[in-house]
Structure 1
Amino acid sequence: MALSSLNSSLETEIVKNEESEFSEIEIGKQGLTKKILKRGISWQTPFPGDEVEVHFSGHVENGASLESSHDKETPFRFKLGQCEVIKGWDEGVASMKKGETAIFKIPSELAYGEVGSPPLVPPNSNLIFEIEMLSWTAIRDLTGDGGIMKKIIKEGDGWATPREADEVLVKYEARLESGMVVSGSEEGVEFNIGDGYLCPAMSKAVKTMRKGEKAELAVKFSYGFRPEIDGCLHVDSNLTIDLELVSWKNVTDVTGDKKVLKKIKKVGEGFDRPNEGSEVKVIYLSRLEDGTIIQRKGSDEQPFEFTIQEEQVDEALERAIMTMKKGEQALVTVNGDYLCYHDNMRVNSNDKVLYHEIELVDFIKEKPFWKMDTEEKIEASERKKHDGNLLFKAGKFWRASKKYEKAAKFIEFNHSFSDEAKHQATALWLSCTLNNAACKLKLGEYAEASRLCTKVLEREPLNVKALYRRCQAYLKTSELEKAEDDIKRALTIDPNNRDMKLEYKELKVKQREYSRSQAEIFSTMLSKMG
């Protein structure tokens, strides 16, 4: 008896749920209603701009029947949210899932309004449509102004997309509005996204694509061919580009200025990378652009071993290795400008590029600071600071910065230290952090220099050296008010500080230059207004 009652209760609950699910719901606030007849097969709904494909039939409420796609046995296609259909359709279809069938009651305000659509739709008529969502094709506005519209023809694999520095392999065909094919490659072409290829639309689109994806691009002439590439082509013509992303190679901008680029040839293991102090095993060769090998180290049987940040290999090579994972193989391209200032390879001024072919066989990181006792931390910090001082004097500011950074890290958290060790560690940390700020100034990393000085001032508000270096950074970034505040604060602490007085003179020069430029701008504005 109890079991029969339970079954009856469950059946009643199921019926209630089904009635609730297929009850009429309101969409928006203008009277559009929807009743689902058949549920869809996914959770996704189309976006504005997508090309949807539906079957439909409709009639005027209490009136004549309207057109039906079933009569023509051909689905109806339109772009959602582009005013190609009445507003009620745009809003209603946007709520539908693939495979869903629903009945929509569309108020006249979202249909043909006071005018109607003679002879079938009288003025102020509500419309009833049964719509089945068959499918849709994603179309995206990549520029926000309709300049590049991307239609996905075939979905790609995975979730990853290329980055700005990556090298991509694509197949494509570009056509003018007349249908004339003006460029293409069935075999595929490789190019660096940042450098671009053919036209701006290619680079913008490929960064949104997944491996194996095929897309059709509708490109306005403003995003089309570059004058230096297209020659006699009609640059004022819109384009259609069929584009396939075959694959890409990850490229890392090691130095942040495109002077040292690393292209991964074989992906490494895990997530860890060697850092300063790591013992690494590598195999590499260095060659010039003409193929001349100028250095070769290590082999499968006996890899070359060295310690990171001990100046045992050239800086560009070392910085690239610090971005690699165990087992990774990469090609590193070093720009000639970088070689002139940093590396000591046997190259001359005519060499534009140096290539390093590297395999990171293995590495072991040095003992982490959190496993050291207090004495070990202080000793390690002093040793790193000493190394940094030598590098700074030699003009090797990036290497010196890394030493100071590591030195400060050893003793930054000294809560467990004795009072005497804490006092020693604090003084050491302040010195290393300020020295690192000096490196950042030399490297032109002014925001980082000011950040480091601010950290020092948070611990020691009257530190004149920190104020001095921070005001130097502010002057370089034209933050004149902040620079003036630091100078005045420092001169209050040390009125006879010669360095701060010199900075004050420079500040006044910059302020006069700024006032003069503002006056010129104002004068130009007035002349245009006159």
Structure 2
Amino acid sequence: MEVEKGKGTDVSDVQGEDDLDEEPGEEIESAPPLKVGEERELGNSGIKKKLLNNGIHWETPDFGDEVTVHFVGTLLNGIKFCSTRDNGEPMTFKLGEGKVAKGLDNGITTMKKGERVLFTLPPDFGYGAEGRDGVPPDSIVQFDVELLSWITVVDICKDGGIIKKIMEKGERNERPSDLDEVLVKYQVALADGTIVAKTPEEGYEFYVKDGHLFPALTKAIVTMKRGEKVKLIVQPKYAFGDKGKEATDGFPSIPPNSVLNVELELVSFKPVIDVTGDSKVFKKILKEGEGVLVANEGAAVTISYIAWLEDGTVFERKGVDGGQPLEFITDEEQVIPGLDRAAATMKKGEQALLTVSPEYGFGSVVAERDLAVVPPSSNLVYEVEMLDFVKEKAPWELNNQEKIEAAGKKKEEGNILFKDGNYQRAGKKYDKAVDYVSEDGLFQDDEQKQIKALRISCWLNGAACSLKLSDFWGAIQLCSKVLDFESHNVKALYRRAQAYMKTSDLISAEMDIKKALEADPQNREVKLLQKTLRQLQVESNKRDAKLFTNMFARMSKGSSMPIKKLKVEIAEPEKSEEAAATERECVAEPSTPSEDRMAVDQS
């Protein structure tokens, strides 16, 4: 039974937007839930809701959803003008399409499944000045409504091309991404019911990014949760278009421009993670691990695995068939980078399949392993289980003295890595050291001097790493942190000047060198850097002079006015020793007092 749509005003016509406290149909957020027998106005709309029976769960339908309800409509004097209960058949309709009175649409969006309420609708949200059969003009009406169920309806592409009706909700809130491997079951039919495609009983497995059958399937799948069942109405442009599809696998052909009806279930999916962010190490989760904690960098991990080449040749086994599992510390280069990085993302008990490109494997060299030789530039596959891990203690888990000791240890590890030329890892060690001593308020007065020295030392050494890695802005930021504490720190001024020169900010470099020489007039490295800066300034002036000369020459064409030649003083070129000095200041113990001031801090 259909209830005629009233021609009252819209909610937005009742009052200005600035005065409207909530959307149509919303209850005031701060208000407590209605109790049975209690009545409340919905916002400032004039619609009143009286709770007759509680519903279940917490979800409510949205506009666009298909709801199934029983209702009885009456005037305030009790005269009935419509009812679904008279014939025992509930009404199913889509909210927001004008199938019922506007106020009833709005009110139902506040109801839970199984809830029964009495809505009182003012004329603007009922049948307005025109009324309807059995309802005089400008009448206040009441609806006794029971929400039996609803189906969530989603316009996936927002163009009507793929309409999804959720028949059975899925588990959790996780949805597959383009990289994931999904297991689905489906049945595809034409408008007349002819089945044109169907999966086997066990379903069909594929990677979302690879697509399957027709575009609408993957577009729908990435909106679904594990275990969700839906019905799709698919327009031709998201199916087989104007070409149709020939008969295959015992199923009939699909005519051109066919609308398809699809029953689809997302049985399960295996998340696939791009571990390194460059599509060179992928982790497919075969079995979820325990809890939410992952091993992370610096953890002591214990794993078992089988490793093989793309042709299936097994080259290593650890912790299987009675063998000893592998134990190592993540982020310490004790295993190949791909395995190291992936292990740091795993939970205890997690099982995963890794695919590792040569860059994160054994590279371009031959690697002799336990069971076979790995040829150069080989792609590798690991099936790994995280048996256990012990995470490195976080700063908040340590007392002050332990934080200071941990920071000192990380700094020393960074110094060793720097001397070995491993600047990337050295920089990370210095960053971790600073993390341990980053909160001033937690340390006592007698500890403040220690932590200040540690921070400054690690920032300076980190800046040296950034220079080696050509991360000049990173070096500038780290040196600036030091200078916030010590405005005339010569090392910080020297390294920041180097970085400014590399970024062509010669004015800032000159200012830093000037301040450094004010603090230490005899510093040899700073003087060498000053000479290099002067050469760069001369070259910059030459370029500027040439630019302006050419510009004035173009402007003077066709003009009788003479052009004065720009005079540029060219300084006598001096041999730069800065490159050699930079190598000396970061690698070995310096031989002179001035060099010691520029070296990586060992204290």
Q: Normalising by structure 2, what TM-score?
A: 0.63
Q: Percent identity, aligned pairs only?
A: 37
Deviations 1:294-337 (A, max 9, x none): 33345434223334334332111111112223343321012456
Q: Which residue of 2 aligns with 1:383?
A: 413
> Against the structure 1 CA distance between its residues 500 and 70, is the aligned structure 2 distance closer, same or farther, given a 3 Å change threshold?
farther
Q: Which residue of 2 aligns with 1:428?
A: 457
1:249 to 270, 273, 298: 270
Deviations 1:402-451 (A, max 9, x none): 44444544565685676774564234311343256458767xxxxxx857
Deviations 1:188-244 (A, max 9, x none): 122334554445544454344333221223345555569999789678555433221
Q: Map 1:90-109; keep pairs closer than 5 Å.
A: 90-109=105-124
Q: Map 1:251-400; keep pairs closer than 5 Å.
A: 251-299=272-320, 300-335=322-357, 351=378, 353-365=379-391, 370=398, 372=402, 374=404, 377-392=407-422, 397=424, 399=425
User: Structure 2: how far apart are the matches of 1:66 and 1:499?
Assistant: 95
User: Structure 2: how far apart are the matches of 1:247 and 1:454?
Assistant: 47
Whichever residue aligns with residue 493 of structure 1, its letter is D
Q: Map 1:428-467; keep pairs closer than 5 Å.
A: 428-435=457-464, 437=466, 454=477, 456-460=479-483, 463=492, 465-466=495-496
Structure ID, larger Rg:
2
Q: Which residue of 1 aligns with 2:145?
A: 131
CA contact (8 A) 2:510 2:533 kept: no
> Against the structure 1 CA distance between its residues 32 and 410, is the aligned structure 2 distance closer, same or farther, given a 3 Å change threshold?
closer
| Structure 1 residue 266, shift from structure 2 partner | 3.4
> Against the structure 1 CA distance between its residues 323 and 66, is the aligned structure 2 distance closer, same or farther, given a 3 Å change threshold?
same
| Structure 1 residue 54, shift from structure 2 partner | 1.2
Q: Secondary structure at the match of 1:113?
A: coil
Whichever residue aligns with residue 431 of structure 1, its letter is L
Say whether residues 1:210 and 2:210 are aligned partners.
Answer: no
> Against the structure 1 CA distance between its residues 64 and 288, is the aligned structure 2 distance closer, same or farther, given a 3 Å change threshold?
same
Q: Map 1:464-503; keep pairs closer than 5 Å.
A: 465-466=495-496, 488-494=507-513, 496=530, 498=533
CA contact (8 A) 2:463 2:474 kept: no
> Against the structure 1 CA distance between its residues 499 and 191, is the aligned structure 2 distance closer, same or farther, given a 3 Å change threshold?
farther
| Structure 1 residue 44, shift from structure 2 partner | 3.8
> Against the structure 1 CA distance between its residues 23 and 321, is the aligned structure 2 distance closer, same or farther, given a 3 Å change threshold?
closer
Deviations 1:9-60 (A, max 9, x none): xxxxxxxxxx985355433545433444444345443222221111123346
> Against the structure 1 CA distance between its residues 134 and 326, is the aligned structure 2 distance closer, same or farther, given a 3 Å change threshold?
closer
| Structure 1 residue 292, shift from structure 2 partner | 1.5
Q: Secondary structure at the match of 1:156?
A: coil
User: Structure 2: how far apart are the matches of 1:22 and 1:236?
Assistant: 54
Q: Which residue of 2 aligns with 1:68?
A: 83
1:184 to 198, 205, 211: 198
Whichever residue aligns with residue 170 of structure 1, its letter is V
Q: Map 1:34-73; keep pairs closer than 5 Å.
A: 34-59=49-74, 65-73=80-88
User: Structure 2: how far apart are the matches of 1:288 and 1:26?
Assistant: 68
User: Structure 2: how far apart are the matches of 1:105 and 1:366?
Assistant: 62
| Structure 1 residue 339, shift from structure 2 partner | 5.1
CA contact (8 A) 2:410 2:432 kept: no
Whichever residue aligns with residue 511 of structure 2, its letter is T
- Structure 1 stretch displaced more, 309-318 or 376-385: 376-385
Q: Secondary structure at the match of 2:302?
A: strand
| Structure 1 residue 152, shift from structure 2 partner | 2.1
| Structure 1 residue 357, shift from structure 2 partner | 1.8
User: Structure 1: how far apart are the matches of 2:35 and 2:404?
Assistant: 68
User: Structure 2: how far apart are the matches of 1:90 and 1:225?
Assistant: 36
| Structure 1 residue 154, shift from structure 2 partner | 1.9
> Against the structure 1 CA distance between its residues 94 and 276, is the aligned structure 2 distance closer, same or farther, given a 3 Å change threshold?
closer
Q: Which residue of 2 aligns with 1:169?
A: 183
| Structure 1 residue 73, shift from structure 2 partner | 2.3
User: Structure 1: how far apart are the matches of 2:142 and 2:403?
Assistant: 79
| Structure 1 residue 487, shift from structure 2 partner | 6.3
> Against the structure 1 CA distance between its residues 400 and 67, is the aligned structure 2 distance closer, same or farther, given a 3 Å change threshold?
same
- Structure 1 stretch displaced more, 123-132 or 56-65: 56-65
CA contact (8 A) 1:148 1:218 kept: yes
User: Structure 2: how far apart are the matches of 1:100 and 1:263?
Assistant: 43
Whichever residue aligns with residue 243 of structure 1, its letter is L
Q: Secondary structure at the match of 2:355?
A: strand
Q: Secondary structure at the match of 2:340?
A: helix
CA contact (8 A) 1:58 1:127 kept: yes
User: Structure 2: how far apart are the matches of 1:85 and 1:467?
Assistant: 73
CA contact (8 A) 2:407 2:432 kept: no
CA contact (8 A) 2:364 2:376 kept: no
Aligned residue-pair number? 466
Q: Structure 2, unaligned stretches of length 5 or more?
A: 1-33, 247-252, 368-372, 515-529, 548-603
Whichever residue aligns with residue 382 of structure 1, its letter is E
